[in-house]
Amino acid sequence: MISYNFSSKSDRIGALASMLCMIHCVATPFIFVIQPMNSQIESIPIWWKGMDFIFLMISFFAVYWTSKTTTNEDIKNLLWLSWVWLTVAIVNEKLVVLKLPEIMVYIPAIALVILHIYNLKYCKCDDDRCCIKSK
């Protein structure tokens, strides 16, 4: 079986996905405010709305792999907490269960970026086995 350290890649992917998610969330209002209004077409294309869930899926796998390989239990727990918070915030935004400020999406996304980058530095090592939890 080939041994491979997913930690550094999952942290990089997770940080990138979270940053792209934030850019997507910030850009959406600006893109569609400057777009000429045409009552015959939907103002926000379905593919654009679906990007939230693509980012969540990528983020899920990044958090999953990072939590499998990190030696820091606090980082593992905070990553999952941030991911769940982001998921709840995005689903709430789509379904409008509660009227929440937009910052409720940005906080967990920023937290995911920071946690992945911290874990990437925390898990910096000389070999492939140093960041893997020993059983």
Q: Does 128 score more than 90 pLDDT?
A: no
Q: What's the pTM?
A: 0.70
Q: Does 1 score more than 50 pLDDT?
A: no
pLDDT of residue 8: 56
Ranges of each domain in the chain: 7-34+43-122
Structure tokens at 126: 């000389």
DSSP-assigned letters across all residues of 43-102: SS-HHHHHHHHHHHHHHHHHHHHHHHH-S-HHHHHHHHHHHHHHHHHHHHHHHTSS---T
